[in-house]
Amino acid sequence: MSDFPRKPCELCFVVREADTWRLVTVRQDQGEAGTIEADLLRPLGFFGGQWPNPGDKFNLDLPRLGLSGPVEVTAIADCPIIPPGPGRIVLSVFRHSRGSTGTLHLSGHPEPIRVTPLHPIWSPSHDAWIPAGKLTPAHDVSLWKSTCRVERYELDAWEEPVYNVEVDGDHCYRVGEWGVLVHNDSDEPKSTNSDDDLDPCDPCKAANTEASPSAAFPRSPSGAIQATAETGKLVEAVPSRGFHGTSGITVDEVIANGLPDGGTNINLAEHVGGAKDSAFRGLGPVPGRGGSAGLRTPVEFAGEGGVVVEVEGVPGFDTGLHAPNAVQQLPKGEAEIATPRRIPTERIKRVGKVSVDCKGREVVKPGDWTRNPNYTPNQ
């Protein structure tokens, strides 16, 4: 596990609704394995609609972060507030009193990384999350702008306090000067192939954001983001993919930064109706072509000179299912997938620049697609 600040006030939390989120500190005695303390940023719904008090006990189910079973609440505080900025939300910090540690050596980088042997690290060459202790010179790791070959992993002969964080969205973050991509899981990975890589985690367990979302999406008890359906009830997002057309941004800007945030309105029917403060973007099943007789396509939304973005692994809401009456009011009955406006670059597979064909129709020509080197699959 990577080193991390121990004081809750230092956590990279973003602005949350003060009445619906709290910072709850819990503790669990694991006998000979030591103790675990955790600072959990959670909504009221996580606790069944009633905030716990210090001394209360409840069952926590976070096995892949090393904390399951009964825990005792030691403190509860208001949700920390800091100005929004780049970076994902840190939802939890875990402090284990003892654990195995080791040193990961990377080719061409003199400063090694201290990491527990079970901590998953992304290996692009193997297209998998590999426990640090199983990395060999046959693996590479993902850095900020490149990859690097592994030299060796050396396991310590002693135990020491170790730390981990739970990261919002796709549950990964970067450590060290060169930005090695790691996953926040700490439990023994499930064996799915010869490299014992991790099962992909659900991208909809939390708001899929790299920068702070303007909208305060509520969450279900399981942690999935929710939006307001046409009935007024909250509905959960599901893993989604599709194409989005937009303008006023370049291909290079999308690849470097993803798509920006904006809007605070999480009502799906109002999004379908064209609300200017909508917290969503629309995803279509194909990029399409201009002049279509049926639905308005992503290339038409983008227009000549705009871009079409193919995304995968984002939380989405089917407007045809959750806002059917609003969809029927549209001229062409356009149903789409609504996804939070902020789409990080890691969720973008490719970006296409829209031009016009010989008949004057908007289109992304085959040679005008650019693959995104920052795309990370199966997060």
Q: Give pLDDT, residue 10.
A: 35
Q: Give pLDDT, residue 378.
A: 52
Rounded-to-10 torsion of CA 184, 188, 190, 194: 100
Pick from 167, 29, 186, 170: nearest CA to 93: 167
- Split at pLDDT 50, 70, 90, the class of 368 is very high
Please provide the CATH number assigned to the domain covering 8-183: 2.170.16.10
Q: Give pLDDT, residue 209.
A: 31
Evaluate the CA torsion angle 226, 76, 160, 178 in order and state its sign. positive
Q: Give pLDDT, residue 339.
A: 94
Using the predicted structure, report yes or no on whether residue 320 has a pLDDT greater than 70: yes
Where exactly are the structural domains of the chain?
A: 8-183, 226-371
Using the predicted structure, report yes or no on whether residue 9 has a pLDDT greater than 50: no
Average pLDDT, stretch 191-206?
A: 34
Q: What is the pLDDT of residues 266-307, one digit of tens each?
A: 999 999 988 888 999 999 888 888 766 556 789 988 999 999
CB distance 126 to 134 below 8 Å: no
Average pLDDT, stretch 192-221?
A: 42
Q: Within 13 Å of residue 376, how many CA atoms lie on the same side as its CB? A: 31
pLDDT above 70 as % of the chain: 80
Cβ density class 75-110: b for 16+ within 10 Å, e for less: ebeebbeeeeeebbbbbbbbbbeebebbebebeebe
Q: How far apart (Å, rounded) are the C-alpha atoms in residues 281 and 245?
A: 9
- Split at pLDDT 50, 70, 90, the class of 166 is confident
Residues near 181 by Cβ (< 8 Å), separated by ≥ 6? 121, 122, 141, 142, 143, 172, 173, 174, 376
Radius of gyration for the chain, computed over Cα atoms and rounded to the nearest angstrom: 22
Q: How far apart (Å, rounded) are the C-alpha atoms in residues 351 and 307?
A: 7
Find the length of the chain. 379
* DSSP H or E segment with residue 327: helix 324-328
The pTM of the full predicted model, rounded to 2 decimals, is 0.48
Backbone angles phi, psi at 12, to 5 degrees: -85, 50
Name which of 27-41, 235-249, 294-308, 321-335 the model is least confident about. 321-335
- Split at pLDDT 50, 70, 90, the class of 27 is very high
Using the predicted structure, report yes or no on whether residue 361 has a pLDDT greater than 70: yes
Q: How far apart (Å, rounded) are the C-alpha atoms in residues 183 and 2?
A: 10
- Mean pLDDT, all residues of the chain: 80
Q: Give pLDDT, residue 170.
A: 60
Average pLDDT, stretch 188-215?
A: 35
Using the predicted structure, report yes or no on whether residue 358 has a pLDDT greater than 90: no
Using the predicted structure, report yes or no on whether residue 169 has a pLDDT greater than 70: no
Q: CA angle, 138 as apex, 134 and 141 as ends, to 5°?
A: 75
Q: Give pLDDT, residue 276.
A: 87
